Amino acid sequence: MFYGNPQFYGVRAMAANIGQSQGNYTAEQFQQDFPQFFTPGSEENPSVCLVPATMLEEIINMANACVQPDKWLESWRYAVGLYVAHYATLYLRTYAESSPTAAQAAASGALVGVVKSATLGDSSVSYDTTAVTKGTEDWGDLNSTTYGQMLANRAKLVGLGGSYAI
């Protein structure tokens, strides 16, 4: 079959309706759109992102490559912001308990469903998220944050034009 031949990759990409554009989302736009990932700032002390600058830049680069403006049109900035917020939340979950501000930022994107069980002694709550994740169970890590779920649901509305599978 011709699918394994490199000379046909362009044909496959065109048939899959893959866009050729790349975004130009920036850390400044992310700060405007999702201020919860930044410390409050003042004239003396500007706000600082809770995610290290190198990691935030890497996440933004991935978002600009993966969320294509010519597919998302007017929803592009919102979608790419959700992408960055999703992966920033996953990154912040790697922080230790001794990092309360980062943990609070990560908790803001935690997936919460209906309370399944609760314990009073030593405070324990577990959630049933099956109703929340039902429509996107095959979407990988996008189900692990509220931002990812919002992106996945918006992607279903956009139609995922441009999915490319080898």
The answer as to whether 123 is a domain residue is no
Contacts of 40 (CB under 8 A, 6+ apart): 47
Residue 115 lies in a domain: no
Which sign, positive or negative, has the C-alpha torsion 166, 21, 52, 112? negative
The answer as to whether 78 is a domain residue is yes
| Domain count within the chain | 1
- The conformational region for residue 159 under phi > 0 = left, psi -120 to 50 = alpha, else beta, is left
Whether pLDDT at 87 is above 70: yes
On whether residue 72 sits in a domain, the answer given is yes
Question: 28 lies in a domain?
Answer: yes
Instruction: Quick: pLDDT tens for 118-147.
Output: 666 777 666 665 655 555 566 677 878 889
Work out the percent of the chain whose per-residue pLDDT is above 90. 28
The answer to whether residue 83 is domain-embedded is yes
In a domain, 117, yes or no: no
pLDDT of residue 165: 47
Region 106-114: what's the mean pLDDT?
56
Residue 48 to residues 27, 29, 37, 69, 86, Cα–Cα distance (Å): 11, 14, 9, 28, 18
Select from 133, 147, 22 the least CA-distant residue to 84. Answer: 147
What range defines the domain where residue 31 resides?
A: 2-110+145-158
pLDDT of residue 117: 65
Residue 65, in any domain of the structure = yes
Average of per-residue pLDDT across 139-157: 84
What value does the mean pLDDT of the chain take?
76
More confident residue, 2 or 91: 91
DSSP 93-108: TTS-TT-HHHHHHHHT
